[in-house]
Amino acid sequence: MPEKPIDIQIFGRTLRINCPSKQKDALNKAVEDLTKRLQDLKIKTRVTNAEQLVFIVALNICYELAQEKLKTREYAANIEQHILLLKKTIEEALIAHAHITERVDGTLECTKHI
């Protein structure tokens, strides 16, 4: 997908960025979010140095990203525990109602008792 240069405005500055046409809307939303964060921080802290504001916002975004990664890892571990519990429950139910044998490859084979 060819990238086309587009002009964006962030905090009063114009930047030309290459962007695939399918990602233009996402880029514009990111620009809006960044501009809002910068504006909110400027009002909240009364800092007027644009470079300092950009660094603070970048640090905030990095922190938020790290927190989201942590949540994702915790969620994945939780899901894995639930899957293992479900697998154990299913295996126990099958053992109670049928004869289970484990193959060499580690998979289970079920044959019903008649």
pLDDT in tens, 29-55: 999 999 999 999 999 999 989 999 999
Question: For residue 54, what pLDDT is reported?
Answer: 94
52-98 pLDDT per residue, tens = 999 999 999 999 999 999 999 999 999 999 999 999 999 888 777 76
Question: For residue 93, what pLDDT is reported?
Answer: 84
User: Cα 87 to chain center, whole Å?
Assistant: 27
Give the model's confidence band at 111: pLDDT under 50 very low, under 70 low, under 90 confident, else very high.
low
Q: CA-CA distances (angstroms) from residue 56 to 14, 40, 93?
A: 20, 12, 55
